[in-house]
Structure 1
């Protein structure tokens, strides 16, 4: 059989296998690896098979394996559409940048000389680097020879044909999970773009999915005047919450409210909920478009270049890192310790450390480390105190959890409640230097909630604007069960199941992590 189900490789890679790369998975304690295994046939010919968590198992001895791979890829990345379950006829779009007002009833013939619409067959490349060898830094290969296989995804943007009558549309917006810089920017841009199409009935659902079933949480009417200045402050104009009612109850509420479009702003868990809502709507054959906008300050959504709020968080973290640096540099044998957000992905910590240029030790969940012993973090701190007189550590909240007692408690979203690695490391450092008879002055800073609540910076504000616009374009194009994001600098639509398969992690073999290590000068803590 040429294509089988994906296989998770949990054991060591033997000498008969060619190693590609390993990356941690939050739900287990081992490394999942992209590996290549050679097995003998009865004819003594070699059959090379790829073992991977995110692609099918392929028999590379088949000459046509590339076509088989691309067929499977195209199937997985095809966008769900309302016409898959409902017979609908498209109509000319009302969206135009050539007119101050929407094109009513399709009036105002298209100006063919204006290339402002995206063709349904437009695609963007998901991968743009052709690796020459599996041993290249950050290599992500399909087969042992790193063959180039084109992987195309759908380009985002307005279409000439739409599947809704804008004047009869009722659109809803909901923000779920925790706070993130840029939420208000996305809300604002969704409203403005909906009005550009001619939608007049726009509502906000208060406090996440909870707003669908809490009677005292009424809909918030939205229009240009209401949202005009909400981007000038942080937080969410609509409020946030975790958890919610059953999918069936939410869809019942969507039907009762007569919503035609629902824009869901949230992370992996929220997107999983949005996809479940989409599937239930399809099951009931409802003409409702469910479109996600990825929101995670940790930047841990698969396939995306980055998510909104991340740049702002990295920038805001600089103030904490700089304060810790000043404290450490000013004190005798000062040690600054900053804990940043990142449950299972260390993107904020890595980028903040790289941006600062002052960090001596960067610790992230994807790269295990030892505290004690000749190669441990504490011994390296001794070296820094001896040579520099001070040190600065930046650690992600999810790093080093194996050193702490697990509480087994979970939050409303089902995420494990993490123990405070920052406080633990602070005490370990103090105890260690007391034991060796060396003075130390440790200052611990945790700016977590300061990062979440600030207003989006210029970079994130632009990203939020683009995401909000493309979410509306996707809904009017008739897509549902999709999310929008940036892949290799291009704006694309992706089916939700493909972005929630797992969390995105920092690749310890990536050039960006290598750049961070070059900046900090830290050794391998093993």
Structure 2
């Protein structure tokens, strides 16, 4: 289920001066046989015992004693794709530093503007990445390599890797990027090439399946938190004041829900996972009316993908990455609230959309630590010859996962989970709207 593919024999001794002995106070090399159990529940444990089965296990991430690639002859490339996210520069920096200082890899290329940079027809060329060039980039948001959305010819991209003697391709991106990386890996495999493809999951929405969280997510709701505080001040500043804050979350509402928990002044959280009705008994507008009658102010946080069922759509449009383009739920709610209360009592509605400020921020301390760990573990796996894998944390441990395992579906909030129940307890909103 979670088997990691390897390019071949690992015959080069690692330059890392690590140990293989427990108790000598030196970090030990990790073996491919070091596994971590995926499902830690008692039910899963009992089921394995009853059926005499081994549990599903994940390959532990970390430095291997022997490498597939000779560091002195290795060329690596890094590409960043999709929307911006806090921490991309941290990951780029971490990969470059690990390749250069841990393993002595001297030729590291930056691929400009996403997968476009692997298409020579776009004319972007490559950027040489050195420790001096990346040493300060973690202080800034965005990506020094630039990014883009949309697919390029897999054959052309693999041709580019071959022509430039690239041995390892590090892809930093979300669901679409990772699927692209898997396709590149498949083409490499068909051609019998000795090139590793590595994924480092990036999505501000935290919707990559299986892994605990993706980098940048913690920063996103950290940045959103003071915005919610200020939205609360705006709402309280008017009699029957309503503040609507729209946060990112195309298919999953993790940012909206987490920000509301971090800044517990929010009264309603609307997410894509939960359909809600506007009108009628138990509907959102009726619940908002009760809130205003009781407290005379309200703060609403809505994820961008929430409430799309309320729009009459003749056709579904997608962006260059294949993501469904959603209608603006924030403006829609603002208009519907004003319309609903026009005949009831006057309200003052303020609408705030900080989406692009949030996603272009620099990583906070927690994400910065996380990004470095992801980068280092990605480099260790790549140098050992592992391919078509992503690095992530599962059950709070760094592991390697097949790209195909994490791209089967998007991770979403479980409405019966403790997490969502905590949100409902914090906001006081009804279980169903």
Q: TM-score, normalised by structure 2?
A: 0.95
Q: Does 1:159 align with 2:64?
A: yes
CA positional deviation for 1:409? 2.0
Q: Which runs of 5+ in 2 are unaligned?
A: none
What does the per-residue CA deviation read over 1:455-514, in whole Å, with 9 as the maximum and x for residues that have no partner? 000010011000000110010111000000000100000001000001001000111001
Q: Does 1:317 align with 2:205?
A: no
| SS, match of residue 303 in structure 1 | coil
Residue 341 of structure 2 corresponds to which residue in structure 1? 433
Larger RCO (CA under 8 A, 6+ residues apart): 2
What does the per-residue CA deviation read over 1:372-405, in whole Å, with 9 as the maximum and x for residues that have no partner? 0010111111111111111111111101001113
CA positional deviation for 1:119? 1.6
Q: Does 1:387 align with 2:294?
A: yes
Q: Distance in 1 between matches of 2:354 and 2:144?
A: 23
Residue 309 of structure 2 corresponds to which residue in structure 1? 402
Q: Does 1:125 align with 2:37?
A: yes
| SS, match of residue 393 in structure 1 | strand
Task: Check whether the contact 1:130–1:148 (CA below 8 A) recurs between aligned residues.
Answer: no
1:416 to 313, 324, 327: 324
CA positional deviation for 1:111? 8.1
Closer, same or farther: CA 215–382 of 1 in aligned 2, 3 Å: closer
Residue 81 of structure 1 corresponds to which residue in structure 2? 6
| SS, match of residue 435 in structure 1 | coil
Closer, same or farther: CA 191–299 of 1 in aligned 2, 3 Å: same
Closer, same or farther: CA 490–111 of 1 in aligned 2, 3 Å: closer
- In the TM superposition, 1:246-325 aligns within 5 A as 246-325=153-232
Task: Check whether the contact 1:471–1:483 (CA below 8 A) recurs between aligned residues.
Answer: yes
CA positional deviation for 1:183? 0.2
Residue 183 of structure 1 corresponds to which residue in structure 2? 88
- In the TM superposition, 1:197-236 aligns within 5 A as 197-213=103-119, 214-236=121-143
Structure with greater helix percent: 2
Q: Which runs of 5+ in 1 are unaligned?
A: 1-75, 99-109, 133-139
Q: Distance in 2 between matches of 1:327 and 1:405?
A: 32
Q: Distance in 2 between matches of 1:490 and 1:524?
A: 33
Closer, same or farther: CA 218–97 of 1 in aligned 2, 3 Å: farther
How many equivalent residue pairs? 427
| SS, match of residue 335 in structure 1 | strand
Task: Check whether the contact 1:337–1:443 (CA below 8 A) recurs between aligned residues.
Answer: yes
Q: TM-score, normalised by structure 1?
A: 0.78
CA positional deviation for 1:131? 5.0
Closer, same or farther: CA 291–382 of 1 in aligned 2, 3 Å: same
Q: Distance in 2 between matches of 1:513 and 1:424?
A: 24
CA positional deviation for 1:124? 1.5
Residue 263 of structure 2 corresponds to which residue in structure 1? 356
Task: Check whether the contact 1:177–1:240 (CA below 8 A) recurs between aligned residues.
Answer: yes
2:372 to 465, 474, 477: 465
Q: Distance in 2 between matches of 1:521 and 1:90?
A: 60
Q: Distance in 1 between matches of 2:143 and 2:316?
A: 30
Task: Check whether the contact 2:10–2:69 (CA below 8 A) recurs between aligned residues.
Answer: no
CA positional deviation for 1:130? 2.6
Closer, same or farther: CA 147–445 of 1 in aligned 2, 3 Å: farther
| SS, match of residue 462 in structure 1 | helix
| SS, match of residue 42 in structure 2 | coil
Closer, same or farther: CA 478–89 of 1 in aligned 2, 3 Å: closer
What does the per-residue CA deviation read over 1:320-356, in whole Å, with 9 as the maximum and x for residues that have no partner? 2112101001111101111110011011111111111
Q: Does 1:489 align with 2:396?
A: yes
Larger Cα Rg: Structure 1 or Structure 2? 1
Q: Does 1:95 align with 2:95?
A: no
Residue 24 of structure 1 corresponds to which residue in structure 2? none
Q: Distance in 1 between matches of 2:337 and 2:204?
A: 29
Q: Distance in 2 between matches of 1:126 and 1:371?
A: 40
Q: Distance in 2 between matches of 1:337 and 1:111?
A: 57
CA positional deviation for 1:215? 4.6
What does the per-residue CA deviation read over 1:248-275, in whole Å, with 9 as the maximum and x for residues that have no partner? 1110111111100000000011000000
Residue 99 of structure 2 corresponds to which residue in structure 1? 194
Cα RMSD, aligned residues only: 2.1
Closer, same or farther: CA 148–405 of 1 in aligned 2, 3 Å: farther
Q: Distance in 2 between matches of 1:405 and 1:173?
A: 42
Task: Check whether the contact 2:151–2:180 (CA below 8 A) recurs between aligned residues.
Answer: no
Closer, same or farther: CA 184–141 of 1 in aligned 2, 3 Å: farther
Q: Distance in 2 between matches of 1:146 and 1:301?
A: 31
Q: Distance in 2 between matches of 1:318 and 1:281?
A: 44
Closer, same or farther: CA 349–89 of 1 in aligned 2, 3 Å: closer
Residue 239 of structure 2 corresponds to which residue in structure 1? 332
- In the TM superposition, 1:510-521 aligns within 5 A as 510-521=417-428
Q: Distance in 1 between matches of 2:304 and 2:56?
A: 34
CA positional deviation for 1:148? 10
Closer, same or farther: CA 225–519 of 1 in aligned 2, 3 Å: same
